[in-house]
Chain A
Amino acid sequence: MSEKNIAYRHLLDSVLSLHAAHRKSDDPTNENDFFEFSDDELRRIVDALWDDRYSAERRNFKNVVGSIISEKVSDE
């Protein structure tokens, strides 16, 4: 993904900064109120979403999200 694209950077920055804020306000005693994604995983999801811009099926996004969550489930 080209870093020259400002719109993409805005989306990625929004997702990562909100994620950071959520992580900061996470209640460590409640294991269900926050789900841990790494920045890299979220970047992969945003990239996939961005790649789907002009495709009707939006397959990349579904595949990447599905695959990341499946990995997490199987790692447990």
Chain B
Amino acid sequence: MRITKLIVKNFMAYKGVHEIDFTVPKHSPLILFLGENGHGKTTVQHACKWCLYEETKEKNERIPAVSLVNRKALAESDGNQNLEMSVEMEWEESGDTYNLKRTFEPLSQGLPVPRARLRINGDNPVPVSAIPAYVQRFLAKEISHFFFFDGETQDEFDKMTSNHNSAAFIRSEIEKSLSIPVISDGINWLEQKQSEESAALIKANLHNDKMRKAGIALENARKELNTIQQEGLLQVARLQEANTRIEILEGQVSNIEEAQQLNEEISELKGRVAILRDKRNEKLSLIKDHLGDFFWVPLAPRLHDIYQSLSQDILKAEKIVQANQSIHARISLLEQLRKQDKCPLCDSVYEITISTILDEISKLKSDLESNEIVDVAKLRAKLRDFESFGFKYEAYVTVRDLQKDFDADGADLAIATQNLDDRQSQLSLYGNTDIQNVVISMKALVAEAEVANKNIEQYKSDEVEVRKRITKLESDIGKGISPQKRISHNAFAYLVNLFVEAKEDYVTLVRKQVETYASETFLKIISDKKYSGLQINENFGVELLLPDGSVDPLRSTGQGKVSTIALVSGLIRTAMDEGFILMDTPFVSLDLGHRQAVCKWAVESGFKVSLFMHSGEFIWERDHSFFGDSVGKVYRIRKIDNDESTIELETA
């Protein structure tokens, strides 16, 4: 079964006629619908559902047909009674083409009601009363939500499967998709027929003492079977009740675990706060000691600067003194030169003029005058005074480091105190949950659940025994009667037994089958390699299996989403001839890696998959490579204004 065409007219966001062709080449089975939120992606799913079932829902509320009519078309119709909203869907199944058109005229006279018309292979329309049966064969309403997959509400589904009460609902839905109710109904009918046959035989043979006794025994056995079944149901209810209460207590226990965790953190933080306080006090005491010994420490940076400056001044002054001494020596030499014509050192004849010597002397004197005259001795005396009161820069460095540590500890202390306050406020929110009471209640409930489970097993075994007895009695009743009556009677008896046993086998087999397929899909998509697969429990809840066979109790939203996609995939592969899935915003809460994996799965799944995505989850330029060459068509959905959108084929 696969959808081939959808034509919408004045339906929700789509004013006028818009056609979507779902046919794609076999090697490119994917169709992408790209559009922003609120532009009309989900409308396509609404259109499919309304066309098939004459109803579609939003937030679990049925949308009235009149609210589905495009507002702009309605406003522009100017009261025209012929204004029409319609959805036409075409699908193929077992070589036949079905065309279903549902129409609604909101302004027609009287009470407007939707009309439907179904043609098979273009022939005359089938009777209107037969349409629901054909639609059910194509896609049963009860299981349609697996095919119209909504990523936005899928998280709710995941939560439902892990909750005992809602899991019963999910179980019922899944059992429908696996056709288990039809087998149960068949068995009920067979049992009813068998009972009628027996009653008729007994009635007709009341004169036969042996048969009369067998009849009474049979009647008693049936009553016993009925009691056992009723008791079994009570035990199932008791088990469910116990499980529900265990679940509530598990929530409380989890709170207690959190509270205990907080308590441990609080103790640790209290210890840390105490240690930090001690450390600070110790440092404070050391700082005080240093300050007692070296009163100048608070002024140390300034004193240090002065000391450094003084030392430098002395060095500088000494250099100037040396320079002046050198100038004086040179002037003295030049003065001697001025008085004789030979060099006083080497006796060589002096050839320069007297004026040159005078100029040089004048220049040197000028240099001498420009040099600052500093009293080095005074400076040295100052330095000695400075050193005499015991100034040591190292002492200052020690105090400075102590202060730094003291401040750092102060910051740590502030953080630890803040964390402590936070944890204490969090702890106060948990109130006074009494862990002992919870544990006692939990133990009692687990024991109760175990008893209920044992009883269920016992009743199942009793049921088998009583059924055997009934078979035997039925067989006894069948003896000695006409062959025709015996055939009819025994045939029903045999079919009842056969189908009761077959149903048990079948349920086990299909659950394992769904589990196998779902695990395959899950392992293909999931990036966390710590899992060995999925486990489908008795309620068809999905659990994540670890390699040691245990169930991982914690799972992220992304993992939950992937496991649900895997479950849907497993159900479709197990219970459907051919699959199509319309996935609306499938990538909500999935990271890029998982998106890529879902795309890969969609390509390889063998289903006709249509993905409705917005730019927040899929960017064509960035992500189209995930699909390889498997995209058969891309439709772009755009909003013109609040009341009108368009859907256009972008790539084929």
Given A10-B513, A54-B136, also A65-B190 (CB < 8 A) = yes
A sample of 12 inter-chain contacts (CB < 8 A) reads A4-B578, A6-B573, A7-B513, A10-B510, A10-B513, A11-B179, A18-B501, A18-B502, A54-B137, A73-B484, A73-B487, A76-B484
Q: Judge if B256 is at the interface, Cβ distance under 8 Å.
A: no
Which one of B243-251, B270-278, B492-500, B559-567 is at the A interface? Answer: B492-500
Q: Which residue of the partner chain A has the closest CB to B504?
A: A14
Chain B residues 573-613 with CB under 8 Å of chain A are 573-578
Judge whether B179 and A32 touch: CB under 8 Å.
no
Judge whether B498 and A5 touch: CB under 8 Å.
no
Q: Which residue of the partner chain A has the closest CB to B474?
A: A32
Judge whether B487 and A72 touch: CB under 8 Å.
yes
Q: Which residue of the partner chain B has the closest CB to A61?
A: B186
User: B180-206, CB under 8 A of A: which get 1 and which 0?
Assistant: 001101100110000000000000000
**Once the chains are docked, how many angstroms separate the CA of A17 from the CA of B502?**
9
Judge whether B575 and A35 touch: CB under 8 Å.
no
Judge whether B494 and A37 touch: CB under 8 Å.
yes
Q: Judge if B323 is at the interface, Cβ distance under 8 Å.
A: no
Given A33-B475, A62-B189, A73-B487, also A55-B498 (CB < 8 A) = no
Chain B residues bordering chain A, tally (CB within 8 A): 46
Judge whether A69 and B475 touch: CB under 8 Å.
no
B-side contacts of A50, CB under 8 Å: 179, 182
**Once the chains are docked, how many angstroms separate the CA of A8 from the CA of B499?**
14
Q: Judge if B506 is at the interface, Cβ distance under 8 Å.
A: yes
**Once the chains are docked, how many angstroms separate the CA of A52 from the CA of B498?**
19
Q: Judge if B140 is at the interface, Cβ distance under 8 Å.
A: yes
Contacts A5-B575, A53-B182, A72-B491 supplied; 4 other A-B pairs, CB < 8 Å: A10-B506, A52-B185, A55-B133, A76-B484
Judge whether B178 and A7 touch: CB under 8 Å.
yes
User: B142-182, CB under 8 A of A: which get 1 and which 0?
Assistant: 10000000000000000000000000000000000011001
Chain A residues 11-46 with CB under 8 Å of chain B are 11, 13-15, 17-19, 22, 30, 32-35, 37, 42, 45
A-side contacts of B493, CB under 8 Å: 35
Which 7 A-B pairs rank lowest in CB-CB distance, beginning with the nearest?
A35-B494, A54-B136, A14-B505, A32-B475, A14-B502, A54-B140, A7-B575
B-side contacts of A69, CB under 8 Å: 487-488, 491-492
Chain A residues bordering chain B, tally (CB within 8 A): 38
Q: Which residue of the partner chain A has the closest CB to B576?
A: A5
B-side contacts of A58, CB under 8 Å: 182, 185-186, 189
**Once the chains are docked, how many angstroms separate the CA of A14 from the CA of B178?**
15
Judge whether B490 and A35 touch: CB under 8 Å.
yes
Q: Judge if B288 is at the interface, Cβ distance under 8 Å.
A: no
A-side contacts of B574, CB under 8 Å: 6-7
Q: Which residue of the partner chain B has the closest CB to A75?
A: B487
Given A15-B499, A45-B495, also A52-B488 (CB < 8 A) = no
Q: Judge if B414 is at the interface, Cβ distance under 8 Å.
A: no
Chain B residues 596-646 with CB under 8 Å of chain A are none
User: A59-73, CB under 8 A of B: which get 1 and which 0?
Assistant: 001100100110011
Judge whether B506 and A2 touch: CB under 8 Å.
no
Q: Which residue of the partner chain B has the closest CB to A52?
A: B182
Q: Judge if B530 is at the interface, Cβ distance under 8 Å.
A: no
**Once the chains are docked, how many angstroms separate the CA of A49 from the CA of B182?**
7
Judge whether A65 and B578 touch: CB under 8 Å.
no
- Contact partner of A53 among B140, B501, B513, CB < 8 A? B140
Judge whether A49 and B186 touch: CB under 8 Å.
yes
User: B395-427, CB under 8 A of A: which get 1 and which 0?
Assistant: 000000000000000000000000000000000
A-side contacts of B479, CB under 8 Å: 32
Chain B residues 124-139 with CB under 8 Å of chain A are 133, 136-137
**Once the chains are docked, how many angstroms separate the CA of A2 from the CA of B1?**
11
